[in-house]
Amino acid sequence: MVQMSEKEAGMEFERIVAELFAYKGYSVERNVTVEGRSGKCEIDVLGEKNKKIGIERIAIECKFKNGGEIERWEVLLWNAKVFEIEMDASCKIDEVYFVTDGRFQPTARNTGDYYGMILLDGTDLNQEFKKYGMDTYCRRPRPNFDGSLSELTREIVRYGIKHGPDLSKLLGV
């Protein structure tokens, strides 16, 4: 029996987040690598949308925590990466997102707010899914499924353990 690794679950979470932003009208690219002075920096999801006055570019850090918490140092690290990307790689970022299936510790939330990041936790993601008509996408009727993103991720992991890393049937894609 093939078991879904933590890395595979994280990659699936990135795919789900990228799809959400595609629904929001962005053209999205995953796992974009840019070269900075201190080396390569990866953006989990890079989104672009045509606006009346040019292109809006967003950078999204995705952290699959299986319902756990994001700590302050993780937000600081993402902020440092974005700074390097903008300064060294000459890649203008208009909005910076940090997205998790879990929660942000209060110090992590305060730090993200201070740096102007848009922080989305599991509850926020469920609201975004509903708003963009993805409710059926993340909430397939099944016994004991409360519809929360943390429950969805648990279902993904359970499915992966039982059926392997191909989640297309579970997610209906």
Read off the CATH number of the domain in which 62 is found.
3.40.1350.10
- The chain-wide mean pLDDT, for the chain, equals 80
Running DSSP on this structure, what letter comes out for residue 153? H
Its domain, for residue 151, covers 6-171
Looking at the structure of the chain, the number of domains it has is 1
With a cut of 80, say whether residue 147 has pLDDT above it: no
Q: At what angle do helices 6-23 and 149-163 cross, to 10 degrees?
A: 130
Q: Which residues contact 160 (CB under 8 A, 6 or more apart)?
A: 2, 3, 4, 8, 9, 167
- The reply to whether 65 falls in a domain is yes
Task: Let me know if residue 130 belongs to a domain.
Answer: yes
Task: Give a yes or no: residue 37 inside a domain.
Answer: yes
Position 48 pLDDT exceeds 80: yes
Q: Return the pLDDT at 159.
A: 58
Residue 83 included in any domain: yes
Residue 1 lies in a domain: no
Query: Mean pLDDT throughout 111-119?
Result: 96
Residue 42 has pLDDT above 50, yes or no: yes
